[in-house]
Structure 1
Amino acid sequence: MSNALKPAFCAYRLLIRAGDLLQPLVLVLLRLWIAHVFFSSGLTKIADWDVTLALFTDEYHVPVLPPNVAAIMATCGELGLSSLLVLGLGGRFAAAGLFILNAVAVISYPGLTDATRQFHYFWGAQILVLLAFGPGLLSLDALLKRWLQRRCPNSGSC
């Protein structure tokens, strides 16, 4: 490598290393943000169950499911999956479930404006990042993985 390229190469390596160090923190912040969005929605649903059932009966047209079943599934999904996401426990499973909930919301609610639809697309993109990278090093998934690797160094021995 020429001497002229060494500073650029070193700066590039430093940038990559900084990104690697920041990744766990960014994934935690992303998990917390997405969980907050969905958990808040779940809390709104349980705050007045009669209104929630009315919305699922009259406004939200969830395909295939009866309104009361859709309301229960959506509420449990928003509260349960977002809680798992905060902990990073079953992180990819939780992200997949929230992605499906988000997609169903876009499909089943014709009252979404272009602006609110953009929020759903943005959340969907963030959830896809969590699906692709997992919950990160600062998660119960990572802790369990390290514990299992120490307990069972040869994967076939447990």
Structure 2
Amino acid sequence: MTDNAQKNESDNNPTEKKCGIIAKFSIIFKLIEFKLKIADFLSPLVNLGIRFYMAWIFLKSGLLKLPKDFLGLNIGRGYSWDSTIYLFEEVHPVPLLSPNVAAVLGTGLEILCPILLIIGLGARPAAAILLIMTAVIELTSDPDFLSETASTQHQYWIILLSVIVFYGAGKLSIDHIIRKKSLSYPKYREITGIKEA
């Protein structure tokens, strides 16, 4: 058989064409699988980065609201408690709360929730609280939240905090360790309806 005859025969053979297409798709599927493995490896690190970044922003803000000699511990970085109360009276008034209560509650949550985010314990509720605080700050200081002139900084915070609220703290967290440990108990799996880890 000549080369031309072999070529014509292989061109007309549908099995060989299918094998060629499958081989091409096989390479594509292997590339996709490789990229998914990279994403699977990096996603906990990205989640950890988001948690640390948001924690840093809110913890810094909370410490700035404390007086320098707070409880004699010298942990505060702020000016005076009066300036913190003024902030909740004039700059960011919180609906339904007095400025004193809002100052204590806001400052306390800005210190506690970031610590929870850092260690990854109760990260979803902590992120949800910070998300609500961000939304209240944005809506009270700029009612036209979705306009082009609105502060994009708070919008980015809302997006990043939403990632934690919807996807959790990730594999590098105490929440993940607790969940894996809980899934080892059959009664927990039965109650929650979760099959396996």
Secondary structure at the residue paired with 1:21? helix
Uncovered stretches (5+) of structure 2, i.e. residues with no partner = 1-20, 67-77, 192-197
Distance 2:47 2:169 in 1: 6
Measured on the aligned residues, the alpha-carbon RMSD in Å equals: 2.3
Distance 1:87 1:153 in 2: 27
Distance 1:89 1:111 in 2: 33
* 1:48-93 CA distance string (max 9 Å, x none): 2111111212222211111111111111111111110111100111
Give the match for residue 12 of structure 2: none
- Given that residues 77 and 101 in structure 1 are in contact (C-alpha distance below 8 angstroms), is that contact kept between their aligned partners in structure 2? no
1:29 to 8, 24, 49: 49
Give the match for residue 179 of structure 2: 145
- Given that residues 142 and 150 in structure 2 are in contact (C-alpha distance below 8 angstroms), is that contact kept between their aligned partners in structure 1? no
- Given that residues 60 and 110 in structure 1 are in contact (C-alpha distance below 8 angstroms), is that contact kept between their aligned partners in structure 2? no
1:124 to 158, 161, 171: 158
Report the count of equivalent residues: 156
Distance 1:115 1:45 in 2: 27
Paired AA for residue 7 in structure 1: I
Identity %: 32
Give the match for residue 39 of structure 2: 19
* 1:101-158 CA distance string (max 9 Å, x none): 10111022249997772100001000011111100011011111223334x233259x
Paired AA for residue 76 in structure 1: G
